[in-house]
Amino acid sequence: MSFGSWRAVLASSILIKSEHTVTTVYLKKAEKTPETETATAQQVVNTMLAEIQANGEAAVKKYAADLDKWTGPLVVTQEEIAANATQVPRQVRDDIDFAIKQVSDFARAQRNSLTDFSVELHPGVTAGQRVIPVNVAGCYAPAGRYAHIASAYMGVATAKAAGVKTIIACSGPFRSGPMHPYLMYAFNQAGADIIMTLGGVQAIATMAYGLFTGKPADVIVGPGNKFVAEAKRTLYGKVGIDVFAGPSEIGIIADESADPAIVASDLVGQAEHGHESPAWLFTSSRSLAEEVMRRVPQLIDRLPPTARDAAGSAWRDYGEVILCDTREELVDISDHYASEHLEVHATDLDWWLQHLTCYGSLFLGEETIVAYGDKASGPNHVLPTKGAARYSGGLSVHKFLKTFTWQKMTREAARDIGLATARISRLEGMEAHARTADDRLAKYFPNQVFELGEAVKV
């Protein structure tokens, strides 16, 4: 079921589960769903990718000049990186270094949870797995109106912790000039091997095709606008990607113990991401819901102009407030929305941790907010949107790792496995498969007679 389809089901205010019926009341209902203009983006991206594939680096340089007004060198030198660091104030460097350590420590803990192993499945049959990092990762951070510092280290530090050999980092020029110095510093401190002043579709294509570096990326990660997201989607298969990204989302579960001022603040805090960023409140308290709805417009009105415009549109068009009777109903409705970010402002936090199953990242308790996760707490902020948390998590070391299996066996073991293989293969009509087992049985046990099954007559 698509995002729009299951949202339409929810609009009936009755969600039928296998064991019980959940009744919900929409105190505020969104008129829109966060669907991107896919058709337009696809057309633009397909044209650009075709030209870059045909004309290579020359096409990339042309797009950089036309779209970003950047005609300078695309690959940043070590001298430029060193000089750039001197432009970054000490407090900024300290804050970025602190955040990088948080992200790196969490990513290393994730990496350590994945281990190689071997196991004897049958006497003489040994099988196992190896966990191996990809060789080249491409990490993208958008340029935009401001420096997207956190996006720089979220990708690079996680790839570094995974053990990736070569990390290529790209971001566009800042306001038609060089890359923002804070962002470049973050890329370098997080462990990027190659840094490029390049944004948009042309950056994604450059990393995928290995232009300017001779190192095509195996995986490309990082947030971006709808054109960047579409470029990653189109190239998926040639390269791995992190998530199919859409507008940022927040869901908040709140009971009567929650502070409406804090809940309202957190909803607005994420709505400022953009005009299409949904903010959802799932609550069992009507009085809290009404107070939050009263406060949110006031908080939006106090924001600076750009943030006020984005948050105002997002709350007007995509904000929802949903009232449920029980915490079980809140779990049901929250899991169906599968929010990118999900905060829980309620008692008995362990209960929620055990029962919620669909979210990009979970923030338990008033003290633990999305902004912390976005910037500095540790877990990655590149997360699934548009319901994708029903089947996928966000960016982690797992995205940069390949889990391979291997096996070996003795000749005695090959007898038992070979007999089963030969007979099953013949039942499936795969005679050539069966004979590969027959040949080994005949070679290893020349004096024995085996029941090998009968070939299917077709």
Q: Are 165 and 135 in contact (CB under 8 A)?
A: yes
Q: Are 379 and 373 in contact (CB under 8 A)?
A: yes
Contacts of 102 (CB under 8 A, 6+ apart): 376, 377, 378
Structure-token pair, residue 81:
């990186």
Task: Quote the DSSP letter at residue 330.
Answer: H
**Which of 148, 180, 273, 341 is flagged as catalytic?**
341
What string of H, E and C letters represents the secondary structure of 376-390? CCCCCCCCCCCCHHH
Kindly report the backbone phi and psi dihedral angles of residue 142, in degrees, each rounded to the nearest multiple of 5, phi listed first: -70, 155
Separation of alpha carbons 259 and 366, rounded Å: 8
What separation in angstroms does the CA of 395 have from each of 243, 250, 423, 424?
7, 17, 44, 40
Separation of alpha carbons 342 and 103, rounded Å: 19
Active site residue 122: no
Of the candidates 111, 96, 102, the residue with the CA atom closest to the CA atom of residue 141: 96
Task: Quote the DSSP letter at residue 197.
Answer: E
Structure-token pair, residue 368:
């633990």
Q: How far is C-alpha 5 from the geometric centre of its chain's CA atoms? A: 23
What separation in angstroms does the CA of 119 have from each of 10, 141, 406?
47, 41, 11
Active site residue 345: no
The residues facing 131 across adjacent strands are 403
**Which of 276, 320, 340, 343 is flagged as catalytic?**
340
Which residue bears the tokens 């949904």? 278
Separation of alpha carbons 427 and 122, rounded Å: 23
Catalytic residues, by residue number, are 340-341
